[in-house]
Amino acid sequence: MKVARAVAEVLDQRNLSIATAESCTGGMIASELVNIPGVSNHFGEGYVTYSEDAKMRLLGVREETLQAHTVYSAECAREMAYGAMKKAGADIGVATTGIAGPDGGSDEYPVGLVYIAVAYKNKITTRKFIFSGDRYQIRFAACKQAFRLVLDVLG
């Protein structure tokens, strides 16, 4: 994936580290990173936190956040990104949470809804997407957009 390689190049140029926190992408972001030779200098940890318990236990997502906003929210994505960055001691945290389908959607939370967050330098940037396609296509699109958001945040 070209955009993953672009992220790795920027991380290398700026000597930055990144950590991932993935729900709906299920480790795809981490997988794309480790496909790149030399990325171990910049990527040391990734968290696949599919359950609410894992999000709370591993990333410090607050139960109050999940009750008030659900796992399908910008607030949850923000806490995931921040938690991954802090727990890993990384410069950047990137997180995805949403509904890849084909089941589980509703009018309020449709299949394809994904929130992506990037934590960097005491700021967290979050974007909402609604992707179409099958489960794999939604996960792949979210992965690609996560890398694009990292690039946007890094300028």
Residue 48: strand, helix, or coil: strand
Over range 101-127, report the average pLDDT.
Answer: 94
pLDDT band at 93 (very low <50, low <70, confident <90, very high): very high
**CATH number for the domain harbouring residue 75:** 3.90.950.20
Structurally, the chain folds into a number of domains equal to: 1
Global confidence as pTM: 0.97
Give the number of other CB atoms < 10 A from CB of residue 90: 21
Looking at residue 154, what is its pLDDT? 97
Domain that holds residue 135: 2-154
Selection from 152, 40, 25 nearest residue 95 by Cα: 25
Contacts of residue 123, Cβ cutoff 8 Å, sequence gap at least 6: 153
